[in-house]
Amino acid sequence: MRIGVLGTGMVGKTIATRLAGLGHEVLMGSRTADNEQAAEWVAAVGGAARQGTFADAVANGEVVFNCTAGAASLDAIGSARPADLAGKTLVDVSNALDFSSGAPSLFVFGTDSLGERIQRRFPDTRVVKALNTVNHEVMVDPSRVPGEHDVFVCGDDEAAKATVASLLESFGWPEGSIVDLGDITASRGVEAYLLFWIRLRGVTGTGDFNIRVVGAPQSLPWKR
C-alpha cells in the first residue's frame, strides 16, 4: 500500500519504519521537501522509502498517518490539496499536549478534541483516531508489553476504521485487543487519558506499558 506519514519525529519515524518493513511504499512528509530528519530516515530505510512535503505525503498515500505534534497538525494536513484529502483515510496519532506551563496539559479537551477538530476542518477526510494512547515503540510492536493489552480506534467511517484495524493487526495487535470506541467524539476520552498515561509513564519508569480493559466477556464483545 502507498502510505503517507506526516511528521519526522520519533512517532513518525517509528511508524514509517515499521510500515516500510511491512513492504509498504512510505513517503515521509514534512514542512519542507528536503527535511534533514526525513532524509536520514530515507537513507536508513532505503527501498521504496521517499520524502517530500506534507502535501506530497497526502497526495501519495492511500492512507495517511498524522504523526505531527498536535499543535501543528491542522496546518500540516491543511497544506495538502483538498482534492488529495477527499475520501482519504487519515490515522490521527497526535495528541493535544501543551507543555507551555511546564506541566503537561491539553490545548483542547472536554467537549471537544483534536481528533474532532481535524475531522471538522477536513470533513471529506475519513479521520480515525488511533495509537495515541501508547508509546511510539509499543504502537508498532505491542509484544514489547507482555500479556493482553488494548489499543483504541474511533472515527465516523466504518470502512476507514476497518482499514486501520487491518494495519494495526499487521503491527501485531491481536484482533481482540482493538477496541472500537465509536465515532470521532471518543477522541475526547483517549486524548484526556494522556494526562493519566504520563503519570503512569513516570510510575512504571518505562514506555513499555499499556492498559487492558477488563470486564465480563459479554461486555467486551471485541475480545474473542
Residues that bind a copy of itself (CB under 8 A): 98, 101, 103-106, 109-111, 145-149, 179-182, 186, 188-190, 192-200, 202-206, 208-216, 219-220
Cβ proximity to a copy of itself, 46 vs 101, nearer residue: 101
**Helix (H) or strand (E) segment spanning residue 11:** helix 10-21
- Min dist CB 148 to a copy of itself, Å, is 7
- Min dist CB 38 to a copy of itself, Å, is 32
The torsion angle over the Cα atoms of residues 127, 24, 137 and 171, rounded to 10 degrees, is 80
- Alpha carbon distance, N-terminus to C-terminus of the chain: 28
Neighbouring-strand partners of residue 27 = 4, 50
Evaluated on CA atoms 62, 164, 140, 103, the torsion sign reads positive
For residues 24 and 1, the answer to whether their CB atoms sit within 8 Å is yes
- Min dist CB 85 to a copy of itself, Å, is 27
Cβ proximity to a copy of itself, 203 vs 224, nearer residue: 203
- Min dist CB 187 to a copy of itself, Å, is 10
- Min dist CB 178 to a copy of itself, Å, is 12
Q: What is the C-alpha separation between 96 and 177, in angstroms, rounded?
A: 24
Cβ proximity to a copy of itself, 53 vs 94, nearer residue: 94
Cβ proximity to a copy of itself, 32 vs 204, nearer residue: 204
Neighbouring-strand partners of residue 50 = 27
